[in-house]
Amino acid sequence: MATRRKTSPSVAAKSANTAATARPTTAAPSPVAPDAGLGDVGAYVTDAWQRTFLFWDTLLNRGNNYIEHLDQGTPPLLKFEHEVVLDGKTLAPPCNYALLRLVPPASMPVNLQARPVVVVDPRAGHGPGIGGFKMDSEVGMAMNAGHTVYFVTFRPEPEEGQTLFTVMDAEALFLEAVIERHPKAAKPVVIGNCQAGWAMMALNSVRPELFGPLMVMGAPLSYWAGSSQLNPMRYAGASLGGSWLASLTSDMGADRFDGAHLVDNFEKLNPANTFWNKYYNLWSKVDTEAERFLEFERWWGGFFRMTGSEIEAIVENLFVGNRLARGTMKAGDRTIDLRNITAPVVVFASWGDNITPPPQALDWIIDTWGDERAIAAAGRTIVYVLHESVGHLGIFVGGEIARKEHDQLVSSLDIIESLPPGLYEMKLRDKAGLAELRWDELEPGAYTVHYEHRTMDDIKALNPEGREEEALFSTLSKVSEMNADLYKKWIRPWVQMTAYRPVADALGKQNPLRLQRQLLSDQMPLAPFIRQGAEWARTHRTPIEADHPLRAVEKQMAARITQELDKFRDQRNEQSVQLARQLYGAEGLGALFPPDTPDADVAHERALKELEAARTAVLPDIAKGGFAEGVCRIVLAGMVSIGSFERRSLRLARLLAQLPDNSKTGVNAQTDWIKLLKAQARITAVAPVEALNALEQLLPNASSRENALALSAAVMMIEPTLANPRSEIIEFLMATLGADPDRVIELARKLTDSLEKPAARRKAA
């Protein structure tokens, strides 16, 4: 057997890059004469052979990297130096999580006044590092903005007795440690990727005092939501009868659930990519693709394990039970109610994500709140961002996504915190504020960021098939509970008696996902032959032109293979969907286990009662206040009338507090405008008509009314679409309050100048 040769990522990358730059010392003879229709066939054959050797050489490097990573203890794959702040192994009870502080490169700025950022990576089969194994990543963007960045990592093996709620308590201690280290900064921004997104939402609901804005990226929060086309994965468990199989698998592993099973499920979602596209892409572009392939596969090939308790809690509460979105999940004696989250929540989803499509990422808002007015009335802010095409993993590892979406989100945190309570979608528009832009069309300096008001109907419209089919999963959850009880009572004791950890560990090492990496390494008997051929290929590399006729034939054949595999996938998915409908529909088990009332209906009914109660509570004091309250109500009415807030208007609105006292305008430099704006937004959410009708009492004379209208118009004039201060709402209120239009316009223009000049000076500084 050949001696194993370890290949570090840097060595593998150097080997791959050499292929792109090396040139032959002597031209290889062409065994076949050029053909008029196919081009130089010999050149193509030579190129294909060279690519083949380089392809297999890259796969050997992948195997070596996998073995090397195991030998190192499978550390997090972070691009940045780091130090351990708190190790969960030292806690009571212990867990396999740890808090790291990332050390920024010397070239990056450090702003000690900036709030810290905590990135939490998913524990969904793989190891940690996807949020920060590139400079162009969530971590890199936060560091570039001057934030101190912390990273929550975890080890391959859980601690004995570890539960989902052990981890939750440890993560709460991590956030307490971060807050203690930054006593003068605002509460930390937390970024939760995929599985970590719902984990951070759950923690936030029981410990809201630990959180600043929470960003959840590609996080499946509403497992029953989706459609047969967007999310066929949710139907896969229907034929298995629910959660009992996960329990059986972990019991056979002697209280260990292998993350390789989760990774295998992900790979089955897209067989064309798993079995063909990623390998063809490497082979066809091996001169430039090898480094990226090895970097990603180093993370993708790290398989981590959970305890049986952890996977049971995840499957029963989330995958099958959907209890987090429904508000019925328990953390010990604590109910996890997402309405308890007080800081702004930002949700990132993509139409290209087949694991967490937009309905799964967003429908929890409907099930939790029921009505967008209830969000505002409770003083909560929820912002969502929809990308047009990026896939699930691209949300975390895509360099373009990091430089665009993540950069915009990090730089907009102060604006998001300044938003009046409510539900918004973050959108891009051109400088004129008219044309909407796609995220993938973003060019620096050519756009403005808008926060557009949204309703529950807007979120419902994102699901083309509606939500009626969620009744199937309500029935499935009941069947799953019955099957799980039967398994735990009658079968589990026998399985646990026969399970033996060393045997289970040995069987886990034979998992095909592990074997394909370990065997295809320098341990392989043919490895020396492949290495020799790859060295010859690098020395004599003669790549053909991209427009070579046989290259076109090759791409056509590759596309046909992809098409056939996609056809197989679609047929398989359709069969899975039909089986679920037959088993759990009204004519199947749905007749024995009827579905519960839809959670959206329950939430809507509750919201209406709470809104009416809130309205009754605010009406007696609706006319309390004065000039500042009147300005806030006019601004809110204006923003609602156009349907959006533009980022610059919110930043410049902060300057209101910096204006000197002015008896003519009624401006008071001590007024906390942002706090007041939020308070008035809660009132206008439940009593909008009464709030505007009360302006006559808040602004008792002509002078105060004109000054209030002028100041409101000055703030709104920052909007490109409101360059004319005589906007629809201002026109309406001028007539209602009997204000002099010319006087209002004159005052508004003067105030606009006083707002814009300090902003320009600050920008120049």
Q: What is the pLDDT of residues 347-401, one digit of tens each?
A: 989 888 888 889 999 999 999 999 999 999 999 999 999 988 777 777 766 555 5
Pairing of β 436-437 and β 644-646: unpaired
pLDDT tens figures, 65-119: 999 988 888 887 777 788 999 999 999 999 999 999 988 887 777 777 888 999 9
Q: Give the closest residue to 341 by CA, choosing from 358, 356, 324.
A: 324
Q: Give the closest residue to 364 by CA, choosing from 307, 407, 318.
A: 318
Q: Give pLDDT, residue 631.
A: 86
Q: What is the DSSP letter of 84?
A: E
More confident residue, 661 or 564: 564
Name the band, by pLDDT with cuts 50, 70 and 90, for residue 728: confident
Phi, psi of 513 (to 5 degrees): -65, -30
- Using a pLDDT cut of 90, give the percent of the chain over it: 50
Q: Domain of 384: which CATH number?
A: 3.40.50.1820
Pairing of β 447-453 and β 644-646: antiparallel
Per the domain annotation, does 417 fall within a domain? yes
Per the domain annotation, does 23 fall within a domain? no
The answer to whether residue 204 scores a pLDDT higher than 60 is yes
- Give how many domains the chain has, as a whole number: 2
Choose the weakest-confidence range: 267-281, 341-355, 514-528, 628-642.
Answer: 628-642
Domain final residue pick, 460, 477, 508: 460
Per the domain annotation, does 655 fall within a domain? yes
More confident residue, 110 or 22: 110
pLDDT tens figures, 288-327: 999 989 988 888 888 999 999 999 999 999 888 899 988 8
- Is residue 199 within 8 A of residue 192, CB to CB? The reply is yes
Taking the C-alpha atoms of residue 121 and residue 9, their distance in angstroms, rounded to an integer, is 21
- What three-state secondary structure class fits 234? helix
The answer to whether residue 719 scores a pLDDT higher than 50 is no
Per the domain annotation, does 89 fall within a domain? yes
Q: What is the chain's length?
A: 765
Per the domain annotation, does 263 fall within a domain? no
Token pair for 274? 């798993």
Question: Mean per-residue pLDDT for 446-460?
Answer: 84
User: Which residues constitute the domain of residue 394?
Assistant: 81-224+322-460
Q: How many CB atoms lie within 10 A of CB 98?
A: 22
In our burial notation (b when 16+ CB lie closer than 10 A, e otherwise), range 195-227 reads bbbbbbbbbbbbbeebbbbbbbbbbbbbbbbbb
Name the band, by pLDDT with cuts 50, 70 and 90, for residue 746: confident
The answer to whether residue 668 scores a pLDDT higher than 70 is no
First to last CA, the chain: 67
Token pair for 212? 């600043």
Q: Give the closest residue to 97 by CA, choosing from 147, 161, 162.
A: 162
Q: Give pLDDT, residue 645.
A: 66
* 3-state SS record for 708-746: HHHHHHHHHCCCHHHCCCCCHHHHHHHHHHCCCHHHHHH
Q: Give pLDDT, residue 419.
A: 84
Question: Mean per-residue pLDDT for 719-735?
Answer: 62
Q: Give pLDDT, residue 646.
A: 65
The answer to whether residue 232 scores a pLDDT higher than 60 is yes
Question: Mean per-residue pLDDT for 231-247?
Answer: 81
Per the domain annotation, does 336 fall within a domain? yes
Q: Give pLDDT, residue 249.
A: 95
Question: Mean per-residue pLDDT for 701-711?
Answer: 84
Return the bridge partners of 433, or none.
none
The answer to whether residue 663 scores a pLDDT higher than 80 is no
Q: Give pLDDT, residue 759.
A: 47
Q: What's the chain's average pLDDT?
A: 83
Phi, psi of 422 (to 5 degrees): 150, -175
Per the domain annotation, does 254 fall within a domain? no
Question: Mean per-residue pLDDT for 203-211?
Answer: 96
Domain final residue pick, 460, 487, 520: 460
Q: Give pLDDT, residue 705.
A: 87
Q: Give pLDDT, residue 10.
A: 40
Q: Give pLDDT, residue 501.
A: 94
Pairing of β 422-430 and β 447-453: antiparallel
Taking the C-alpha atoms of residue 74 and residue 127, their distance in angstroms, rounded to an integer, is 8
Choose the weakest-confidence range: 260-264, 276-280, 752-756.
Answer: 752-756
The answer to whether residue 465 scores a pLDDT higher than 70 is yes
Q: Give pLDDT, residue 22.
A: 38
Domain final residue pick, 413, 443, 460: 460
Taking the C-alpha atoms of residue 695 and residue 698, their distance in angstroms, rounded to an integer, is 5
Q: Give pLDDT, residue 675.
A: 84
Per the domain annotation, does 443 fall within a domain? yes
Q: Give pLDDT, residue 199.
A: 94
More confident residue, 466 or 562: 562
pLDDT tens figures, 615-654: 999 999 899 988 888 888 888 887 777 666 666 555 545 5
